[in-house]
A and B are shown apart, each in its own frame.
Chain A
Amino acid sequence: MSELTFEGVSVRFGGRRHGLTAVDGVDLTVPGGSVVGLVGESGSGKSTLARAAVGLAPLHAGRILLDGEPVRRGRRSRPALQMVFQDPYSSLDPRMTIGDSIAEATPRRGPARRAEVTRLLDLVGLGADRARAYPGQLSGGQCQRVALARALAGDPRVLIADEITSALDVSIQGAVLNLVREVQRELRLSLLFISHDLAVVRYVSDFIAVMYLGRIVEYGPAEAVLTDPSHPYTRELLAAVSEPVSTGEADPALRAVADVEPADPHAPPPGCRFHPRCPVGPAVLDGRDLCRESEPVPQGHRHLAACHFAAGR
């Protein structure tokens, strides 16, 4: 069991003038053998954080540690971190049989390799005879199983799953979720599970981290975050999945706040980044100018929440 830690991780894209900081000083821990669910809206930096962990996005600042050691990434060092991607079709080389795709990722050579491919295919519920199929001949759900098998081929200690079910049909999504959970428990993997679907995250995760505009705004045990959310943004997310849609608020200030567009990551709002949309922030309540001026840090509450008024509401 290995613990994955992000320490003050920032990722920037583009030049100094037109650049944007997609991930901004993120501290996050995936405790050994447990599942951390990462939720947040599109563009909040979830995928970028994941890609930084596996070395696909350059770090601007901070460190990524595996059991306290910086993640080593070299040509021949066995990658202890593996990732499964969103789009089942683009994540497999269309010109390679799925057996070859998996074999490429195993450290073993020779006949042991073939046995390993068979074992992995079996592990993800596909027959060994499928090894000679091309990705185009498989369904989306099956491709996602293959992608999982390929990620497991390197015997990773930590697995990152980025929206792995969002491209799948609802009737197939369940099977893939079951499989991921089963494999995670069986191999005692640490898993960072990214999804925009709170119900899916709730189902697989032990801990939940909520991301907004490049920052983690709330983090805690899944049960606590879901039953007693401290950050207003988390409460919004929860309301979106559990309350019926209605024409909404009579209070014009609340309604205006509810209709505000998501912020532009190129120019994050000053102070608390959520303040233009916050239903208990300065746009709605008097005396909350603090939110515009200083940025809250996640600390000091039952679980971590980056809001000046997390405790008092």
Chain B
Amino acid sequence: MTSPAKSTWAGVLRTPVGAGAAGLLAAVLLLAVLAPLLWSDQASAVDTGRILEGPSGEHWMGTDGLGRDIFFRVLVATGLSVGLALLATAVGVGAGLLLGTAPMLLGRRAGRLVTAVVNIAVAFPGLLLALFFAVVFGVGATGAVLAIGFALAPAFARLAQTLVAKVAGLDYVAAARIAGLGRLRLLVRHVLPNIAEPLVVNATIAAGAALLTFSGLSFLGLGVQAPLYDWGRLLGDGLSSLYVHPAAALAPGTAVVVAGLAFNLFGEAIAKGIGMRTTPVLLRPRVRSAPAARPAVTGEQEPVLAVDDLRVAFPGSTPVRGVSFALRRGEAVGIVGESGSGKTLTALALAQLIEEPGEVSADRLDFLGRPLLDLPARERRHLLGTSFAMVFQDPMTSFNPTQRIGRQLAEVSEQHDGLTRGQALDRAVDRLQAVRVPAAARRAKQFPHEFSGGMRQRAMIGMGMMGAPALIVADEPTTALDVTVQRQVLRLLDSVRTADDVALLLISHDITVVRQFCERVLVMYAGRIVEDLPAADLPARARHPYTRALLAAVPDMSTDRERPLAVIPGRPVDPADVPRGCAFAARCPLADEQCTSADPPLVPDEDGRRVACWHADAVTGLPLVAEEVRVGE
């Protein structure tokens, strides 16, 4: 089995930019090794008869003051230029690593001192440091290598410190520490391998910079000394005769730029490749919330929301495969299911927040009697903006961290409702009070990070209530909260619902919470609703094997402590690879041939409860706690 890192690097090489940069860099490095071996003689052959000549068939880039061929000199200089730049980078990275890992190795007090020194050094511009060190170490190649190396060191030390600190805080380092590993072993085994990737990327880019700086020092006469020569010196020599013979300066100049680019592009390409792996697939969309407006006029019987055969598709997978349900005014409905079952995507699709390349389709998606998918974009925005509120799991990511809470609430009314700044702010304070944020006027002036999790969640609900929402969709609104705070938030949602007759769709992985809070429960599995039943029917009258398994697998306050918990064998379905027939068949104790060949439809019974299972009626007889199945899921 290959380590995860290798595939990333291979992936980078497959992109056009990555492959191009890698090719260029390989060419430069190859030239650096081979050119001095192959063409040293040609490059140093003096021909006093042909001094300072322009480009010709014999000398492509002309000749210098001693009649030597400039083209060959530039080629041969690759060796010294690249070699010295790499050496300087190595010095810089080495010194940086020593300084950067010192805090971890030396312990807290000495570490703090090192950190302070690095922080001061980082503040100086690199070129200034390089010049300073060049003077200190004296003129010459060795001096220049050390100078550039030490000039690079502070930045690397800082980088290494940050990376080390991040990795050292992870649990696996803690676990190794508990196991008694010494600091040095910890560093070598667990920390360095995990920070190597970004370090190598930065070193590659730094090598490009070192190359440029080195050329600069040599150009100034501080670097490589005659009779040795690198690109910087060739450039210096060429520049004196620039007007007579521009090629003599252009050739080494171009070489510096091309080689510098090769290092830089390659570094950037790898950085992008690594970044790509960590970019989330689905961007957290911005919250949409309701500004003040009249609720749309609707008939009494009309559902707030009617969904028929809703599908959400991404290239290669369809994580929501035909969801149908309706919500009445003032009704509280819960959606439960494990992660990946399509709960959040369903919510996002209702709010029209699915982004490219995702696609939403439905036979019917009516909100307050209007077909959302067919409305012109402006009208749809207005309708959702005025009557639809959404609350997300992590309110920290749904608020702008740089703006005061009150301002963010007020903005909604200002924008959609034409309130003045002052009026809007008053309303914001009023709404914060309505969601029981204590000292609302003072709180409105605070930033999101000054709110506790539960308080932020209330502010989020308050934001949804800046208007008069007909529907609140809450996606795991309490998952990040403690039980007691969770209850506060649920109680708040409940009072909003009963006071204003707002329909509520509560999405949660926690069937216990949904049971306590909702009138009706929709159970989702692999992108479908598999059961729809009154909360009061749980647990005894659940009919779908998955619902029953879920109930048995989660301990509650009456679970028999002497028996092992029931286990659902197997793993959740991968949305990219949904099996034929019933998606639960692989994990279902009742599965038979019919189940694996045809997908059971969601059929209603006379009481309006719905279930999608061929053998639903066989299930109710089974004991709730299934036999224990021990599996390595």
Residues of A within 8 A of B (CB): 41-42, 51, 54-56, 74-79, 81-83, 85-87, 90-97, 101, 104-105, 125-127, 132-134, 136-137, 139, 141-142, 145, 147, 150-151, 153-154, 169-175, 177-178, 181-182, 196-200, 202-203, 226, 236-248, 258-262
Contacts and interface: CB of A to CB of B under 8 A. Distances in A.
B557 A170 contact: no
B512 A174 contact: no
A199 to B, nearest CB: 5
28 contacts: A41-B482, A41-B483, A42-B482, A54-B178, A56-B178, A79-B180, A81-B178, A85-B175, A90-B172, A93-B190, A95-B4, A142-B633, A170-B338, A171-B550, A172-B633, A174-B554, A174-B567, A181-B564, A196-B483, A198-B557, A199-B555, A199-B556, A239-B487, A246-B494, A247-B494, A258-B488, A259-B488, A261-B455
A202 B557 contact: yes
B179 A79 contact: yes
A231 to B, nearest CB: 13
B517 interface: yes
Given A54-B178, A196-B483, A244-B517, 4 more contacts: A93-B173, A142-B632, A178-B565, A260-B438
Given A85-B171, A261-B452, A104 B176 contact: yes
A93 B182 CA distance: 16
B172 A247 contact: no
Contact of B4 (A104, A105, A136, A240): A136
B3 A171 contact: no
Interface-central residue, A95, A170, A202, A261, by most chain B CB under 10 Å = A170
A239 B559 CA distance: 17
Contacts of A83: 174-175, 178
Interface string B171-198: 1111111111110000001100110000
Given A178-B564, A198-B557, A132 B1 contact: yes
A247 B178 contact: no
The 9 closest A-B CB pairs, nearest first, are: A91-B171, A41-B482, A174-B565, A85-B171, A171-B568, A240-B483, A174-B553, A203-B555, A105-B179
Contacts of A75: 180, 182
A75 B455 CA distance: 45
A262 B633 contact: no
B495 to A, nearest CB: 5
A159 to B, nearest CB: 11
B542 to A, nearest CB: 15
Nearest to A200: B555
Nearest to B458: A259
B628 A178 contact: yes
Nearest to B332: A245
Given A85-B171, A92-B172, A104-B179, A169 B572 contact: yes
Contacts of A77: 180
Nearest to A238: B557
Of B173, B338, B632, the most chain A CB neighbours within 10 A belong to B632
Interface in B481-528: 481-488, 490-491, 494-495, 498, 509-512, 516-517
A202 B487 contact: no
A72 B264 CA distance: 51
B571 A139 contact: yes
Given A75-B182, A85-B174, A203-B565, A177 B555 contact: yes
Contacts of A79: 178-180
Interface in B516-575: 516-517, 549-550, 553-557, 559, 561, 564-568, 571-572
Nearest to A160: B178
A125 B175 contact: no
Contacts of A101: 172
Nearest to B552: A174
B554 A170 contact: yes
Interface of B: 1, 3-5, 170-182, 189-190, 193-194, 338-339, 436, 438, 452-455, 481-488, 490-491, 494-495, 498, 509-512, 516-517, 549-550, 553-557, 559, 561, 564-568, 571-572, 628, 630-633
Contacts of B189: 93, 96, 104
A125 B630 contact: yes
B5 A95 contact: yes
A56 B482 contact: no
Contact of A199 (B452, B485, B512): B512
B512 to A, nearest CB: 7
B632 A262 contact: no
Nearest to B183: A75
Contacts of B628: 178
B555 A202 contact: yes
B1 A177 contact: no
A171 B553 contact: yes
B172 A91 contact: yes
A236 B454 CA distance: 16
A142 to B, nearest CB: 7
A16 to B, nearest CB: 16
A189 to B, nearest CB: 15
A299 to B, nearest CB: 25
Contacts of A74: 180
B483 A126 contact: no
Nearest to A243: B516
A84 B498 CA distance: 44
A134 B4 contact: yes
A245 B484 contact: no
A127 B190 CA distance: 25
A104 B438 CA distance: 52
Contacts of B631: 125, 175
User: Chain B CB within 10 Å — which of A82, A95, A196, A203 has the most?
Assistant: A95
B181 A170 contact: no
B186 to A, nearest CB: 11
A246 B491 contact: yes
B483 A237 contact: yes
A178 B631 CA distance: 11
A19 to B, nearest CB: 15
A147 B632 contact: no
Nearest to A101: B172
A141 B630 CA distance: 13
Contacts of B484: 41, 236-237, 240, 262
Contact of A169 (B339, B487, B495, B561): B339
B536 to A, nearest CB: 10
Contact of B172 (A81, A93, A182, A248): A93
B365 to A, nearest CB: 29
Given A181-B564, A203-B565, A248-B491, A170 B630 contact: no
Contacts of B517: 244-245
A262 B554 CA distance: 27
Q: Specify which of B175, B177, B182, B557 lies most central, judged by the most chain A CB atoms within 10 Å of its CB.
A: B175
A173 B1 contact: no
Contact of B438 (A92, A97, A261): A261
Contacts of A82: 178-179
A243 B513 CA distance: 10
A75 B176 CA distance: 11
Nearest to A42: B482
Contacts of B509: 169-170
A170 B550 contact: yes
B538 to A, nearest CB: 12
B559 A240 contact: no
Given A169-B338, A173-B554, A259 B436 contact: yes
Contacts of B178: 54-56, 79, 81-83
B475 to A, nearest CB: 17
Contacts of A181: 564
Nearest to B193: A95
A100 to B, nearest CB: 9
Contacts of A153: 179
B516 A245 contact: yes
Nearest to B554: A170
Nearest to B518: A245
Contacts of B181: 104
A73 to B, nearest CB: 8
